């Protein structure tokens, strides 16, 4: 039995599912990027604050839409990205064999089997197929394994389907780009513009400022303020799908970006985003008190509003500086 495994098909562990899957896929093309670097390069960081009268709690998120990072990075690298639904095993088997025969790894996007992930979270689970054996087996890049693991595709597909219809995300890269510094600078400047001047007022820095403005009105607008505060804390602090984690990833990206574009702007932006993180932790602490039912809800909400304004000010400053790269 012959087994074909793409070059560099071993798993490299990361903290963010989409960026880590993309990292492991790009290694098959000889590109060695961390999940944090790809998160930043793909303009993954953002902010969303949305509240309607019928919602029991505002929707607060800290990143762009699912698959957005993959699509942004592939565009920057001059590659092609295709997302294909896989309703049947036969279609899955055919697609995997075709793409691997052409030298392309296959990312499989799945629903998250995580009860702590709130509805509306902008995350999915991913596995990466980097090889195929001529019977019913595929080589999967597995966490903490130096070599891919050979598993039956039929049983894997049955397990994936329990979480909904799986999707294949295929990145087709023909040529490795030579001018990474140019690509990085252009992406960072574009990202700064997206954060500073979003198309709607509930995104980016404007979204943070809107959150700061609205939060002191929660007692008049929401039926259960403690529940809304609890939802924010749970979603913002989630270990891989929370806004706090996304901002930590972005700071790691800036550190790695400095190695490619060593300049004062990036160096100062790392520090600025670090100071903003302190204010975000204060926001979480204040709303955790509200969620617990502690006395003085109005005071905690006013403090959270003040801290949000400070976080917005600092993030605005960092992005204004990056826009001048």
Per-residue model confidence as pLDDT tens digits over 285-322: 999 999 999 999 999 999 999 999 999 999 999 999 99
Phi, psi of 164 (to 5 degrees): 110, -175
User: Under CATH, which number does the domain 3-32+80-172 receive?
Assistant: 3.90.70
Chain mean pLDDT for the chain: 90
pLDDT at site 120: 52
Contact 72, 43 (CB under 8 A): yes
The per-residue pLDDT for range 190-220, each reduced to its tens digit, is 999 999 999 999 999 999 999 999 999 999 9
Name the residue ranges covered by the structural domains of the chain. 3-32+80-172, 180-322
Answer with the residue of higher pLDDT: 14 or 41: 41
Global confidence as pTM: 0.92
Alpha helices in the chain (DSSP H): 17-27, 35-41, 68-76, 89-101, 153-161, 180-196, 204-215, 218-221, 225-236, 243-260, 264-291, 297-322
Q: What is the pLDDT of residues 225-235, one digit of tens each?
A: 999 999 999 98
- State mean pLDDT over 20-24: 91
Q: Check whether 53 has a pLDDT greater than 90.
A: no
User: What Rg do the C-alpha atoms of the chain give, in angstroms?
Assistant: 21
| Structure confidence at residue 146 (pLDDT) | 62
- Give the phi and the psi of residue 292 in degrees, each rounded to 5: -80, -10
Q: Look at residue 132 and tell me whether its pLDDT is greater than 60.
A: yes
> d(Cα 107, Cα 113) in Å, to the nearest integer?
17
CA dihedral 265, 271, 276, 282 (to 10 degrees): 180
Closest alpha carbon to 33 in 293, 252, 306: 252
């Amino acid at each position: 039995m012959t087994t074909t495994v793409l070059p560099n098909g071993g798993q490299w562990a990361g903290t963010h599912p989409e960026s880590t899957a993309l990292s492991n896929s790009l290694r098959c093309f000889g590109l060695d990027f961390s999940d944090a670097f790809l998160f930043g390069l793909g303009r993954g960081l953002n902010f969303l604050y949305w509240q309607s009268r019928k919602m029991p709690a505002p929707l607060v998120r800290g990143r762009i839409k699912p698959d957005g990072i993959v699509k942004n990075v592939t565009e920057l690298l001059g590659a092609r990205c295709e997302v294909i639904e896989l309703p049947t095993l036969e279609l899955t088997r055919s697609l995997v064999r075709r793409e691997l025969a052409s030298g392309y790894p296959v990312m499989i996007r799945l629903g998250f089997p995580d009860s702590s992930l709130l509805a509306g979270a902008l995350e999915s689970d991913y596995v990466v197929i980097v090889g195929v054996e001529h019977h019913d087996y595929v080589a999967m890049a597995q966490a903490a394994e130096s070599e891919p693991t050979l598993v039956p595709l039929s049983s894997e597909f049955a397990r994936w389907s329990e979480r909904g219809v799986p999707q294949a995300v295929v990145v087709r890269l023909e040529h490795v780009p030579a001018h990474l510094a140019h690509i990085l600078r252009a992406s960072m400047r574009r990202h700064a513009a997206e954060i500073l001047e979003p198309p709607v007022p509930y995104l980016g820095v404007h979204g943070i400022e809107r959150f700061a403005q609205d939060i002191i009105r929660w007692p008049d607008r929401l039926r259960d303020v403690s529940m809304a505060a609890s939802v924010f804390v749970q979603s913002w602090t989630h270990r891989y799908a929370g806004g706090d984690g996304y901002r930590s990833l972005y700071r790691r990206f800036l550190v790695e970006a400095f190695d490619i574009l060593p300049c004062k702007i990036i160096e100062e932006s790392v520090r600025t985003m670090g100071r903003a993180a302190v204010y975000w932790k204060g926001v979480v602490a204040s709303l955790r008190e509200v969620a617990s039912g502690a006395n003085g809800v109005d005071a905690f909400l006013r403090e959270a509003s003040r801290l949000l304004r400070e976080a917005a000010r600092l993030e605005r400053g960092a992005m204004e500086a990056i826009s001048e790269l």
